[in-house]
């Protein structure tokens, strides 16, 4: 009985091995189907897109004025403004010590009074000389001297009057007033300092008016005209609107760029000296567009993936243009009738197999 049981064991093992080998031939091959990536596709469409030119440049005062006194050698008594103060036209900004200037006015007034007295005497002498000359009681030369004395006295009075007016003018210069309304942007003076004529003491941004000075290459500069709309973002993200005031008539010889000056009536949080990026709006034009999610950037170039033969994709290098409202202009690289991958393009390579699904399913990877 025992030899019969031992011979049946190898037969059973062989049967089990054959069953295992036969089972592997019926398993389905899922490798190829698992490699297909779910994507969403669309066909490029022609739509009207705004024509924009992007640029960057400095925010600057439209006109920033350097203010100083016209009277030199006088001590500053008061500074009436601080940086950031808004001032009205004619408002006093600083005051010089006026004691010496007031004394010059009094001296000029005294000189004018003396000239008036001398003129009164000269007029009387001239009248007496004419009368005596008519009566032939005085030599003609003596009479002429008396008459000339009146003319000299009148000239001396005019000189004294001019000196008085000049002294009063100098006294008026002792108060520095704002020539225009605006904002004080800089202050380089303190009370007690001796001011020299022509030295900058304060700076004023006229009418609080700022402008954007954008630099553009020559190809874009010629497309900009006065009145073109501009749009910037301030440092808190709010939109700032403006209009081109003027375009520079010449380009920089080295950079081959020109400056565009755009007025910013409501600059928001922008300040003079800031650097800002913005764009010029030139109208609209029809353009071939795809969703911006379809564009893939690699190695400094932009690509789209289109459905090619069967369920595989082909990579197309394209040139893009204006972006607006989630769409991007395709200037070259497409014919317009292709099916372009819009979801999942960033994971694709040339020749990859894909499975087209709805956009929502492609986004979740189902």
Q: Residue 366 sits in a domain of what CATH number?
A: 2.40.30.170
Q: How many residues does the chain have?
A: 366
Residue 51 inside a domain? The answer is yes
pLDDT (0 to 100) of residue 362: 55
For residues 53 and 290, what is the distance between their CA atoms, to the nearest angstrom? 20
279 and 155 fall within a common domain: no
37 vs 32, 33, 41, 309, CA distance in Å? 11, 9, 12, 16
Q: How far from 321 is each of 33, 97, 233, 291, 332, CA to CA, in Å? A: 37, 64, 21, 13, 10
pLDDT at 360: 56
Q: Is residue 363 scored above 80 in pLDDT?
A: no
Within a domain: 29: no
pLDDT of 1 over the 70 cut: no
Tokens coding 316: 């197309």
Count of Cβ atoms closer than 10 Å to residue 250 Cβ: 7
Cβ atoms of 352 and 340 closer than 8 Å: no
Does residue 302 form part of some domain? Answer: yes
Within-domain flag for 231 = yes
Residues 134 and 202 in one domain: no
Beta bridge partners of 241: 231
Q: d(Cα 120, Cα 117) in Å, to the nearest integer? A: 5
Residues 136 and 253 in one domain: no
Does 304 share its domain with 254? Answer: yes
Both 366 and 224 in a single domain? yes
Is residue 224 within 8 Å of residue 53, measured between CB atoms? yes
Answer yes or no: are the C-beta atoms of 278 and 314 closer than 8 Å: no
**Average pLDDT over every residue of 100-111:** 95
CA 278/CA 270 separation, integer angstroms: 13
Same domain, 218 and 337: yes
47 occurs within a structural domain:
yes
Angle at CA of residue 331, ends 325 and 337, nearest 5°: 85
Mean pLDDT of the chain: 86
Q: Which of 161, 190, 208 is the last residue of a domain?
A: 208
How many angstroms separate the CA atoms of 259 and 235, rounded?
A: 22
Distances, alpha carbon 340 to alpha carbons 49, 72, 310, 346, 348, in Å: 20, 76, 14, 13, 12
Residue 352 lies in a domain: yes
Do 311 and 361 fall within a single domain? yes
pLDDT at res. 233? 87
Provide the residue range defining the domain that includes 342: 34-61+209-366
- Pair (45, 92) in one structural domain: no
State the Cα angle at 325 between 324 and 331, rounded to 5°: 40
pTM: 0.60
91 within 8 A of 178, measured Cβ to Cβ: yes
**DSSP-assigned beta bridge partners for residue 328:** 290, 323
DSSP letters for 253-322: TTT-EEEEEEEESS-TT--TT-EEEEEEEEEEEEEEEEEGGG-EEETTEEEEEEE-STTBEEEEEEEEEE
Would you say residue 300 lies in a domain? Answer: yes
Same domain, 80 and 180: yes
**2-55 pLDDT tens trace:** 344 444 444 343 344 444 444 444 444 444 444 678 899 999 999 988 888 889
Q: To the nearest whole percent, how much of the chain has pLDDT over 90?
A: 58
How much of the chain exceeds pLDDT 70, in percent?
A: 88
List, edge to edge, every strand of the sheet that includes 182-187. 64-67, 202-206, 182-187, 86-87
Of 182, 208, 234, the residue at which a domain comes to its end is: 208
Residues 221, 366, single domain; the answer is: yes
Indicate the number of domains in the chain.
3
Are 267 and 148 in the same domain? Answer: no
Tell whether the model's pLDDT for residue 197 goes beyond 90. Answer: no
pLDDT tens readout for residues 118-137: 999 999 989 988 888 888 88
- Please report, for the domain that includes residue 145, its CATH number: 1.10.287
Cα-Cα-Cα-Cα dihedral of 13, 16, 20, 23, to 10°?
A: 160
Shared domain check, 151 and 70: no
Q: What is the CATH number of the domain that holds 198?
A: 2.40.50.100
From residue 145, alpha-carbon distances to 138, 194, 314 in Å are: 11, 50, 114
């Amino acid at each position: 009985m025992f030899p019969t049981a031992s011979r049946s064991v190898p037969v059973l093992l062989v049967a089990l091995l054959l069953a295992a080998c036969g089972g592997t031939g019926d398993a389905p091959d899922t490798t190829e189907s698992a490699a297909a990536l779910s994507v969403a596709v669309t066909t490029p469409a022609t739509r009207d897109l705004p024509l924009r030119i992007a640029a960057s440049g400095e925010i600057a005062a439209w006109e920033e004025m350097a203010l100083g006194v016209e009277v030199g050698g006088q001590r500053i008594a008061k500074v009436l403004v601080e940086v950031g103060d808004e001032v009205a036209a004619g408002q006093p900004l600083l005051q010089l010590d006026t004691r010496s200037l007031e004394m010059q006015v009094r001296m000029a007034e005294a000189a004018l009074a003396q000239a008036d007295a001398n003129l009164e005497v000269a007029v009387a002498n001239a009248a007496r000389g004419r009368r005596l000359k008519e009566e032939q009681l005085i030599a003609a030369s003596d009479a002429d001297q008396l008459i000339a004395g009146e003319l000299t006295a009148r000239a001396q009075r005019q000189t004294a009057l001019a000196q008085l007016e000049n002294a009063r003018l100098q006294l008026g210069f002792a108060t520095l007033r704002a020539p225009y309304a605006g904002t004080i942007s800089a202050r380089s003076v303190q009370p007690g300092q001796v001011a020299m004529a022509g030295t900058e003491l304060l700076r004023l941004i006229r009418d609080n008016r700022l402008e954007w000075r954008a630099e553009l290459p020559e190809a874009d500069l010629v497309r900009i005209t006065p009145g073109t709309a501009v749009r910037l973002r301030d440092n808190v993200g709010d939109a700032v609107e403006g209009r081109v005031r003027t375009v520079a008539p010449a380009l920089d010889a080295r950079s081959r760029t020109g400056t565009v000056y755009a007025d910013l009536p409501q600059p928001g949080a922008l300040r003079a000296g800031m650097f800002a990026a913005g764009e010029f709006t030139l109208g609209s034009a029809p353009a071939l567009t795809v969703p911006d999610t379809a564009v893939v950037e690699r190695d400094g170039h932009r690509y789209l993936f289109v459905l090619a033969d069967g369920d595989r994709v082909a990579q197309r290098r394209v040139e893009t243009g204006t972006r607006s409202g989630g769409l991007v202009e395709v200037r070259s690289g497409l014919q317009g009738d292709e099916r372009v991958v819009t979801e999942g393009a960033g994971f694709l390579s040339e020749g990859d197999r894909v499975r087209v699904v709805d956009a929502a399913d492609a986004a979740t990877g189902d």
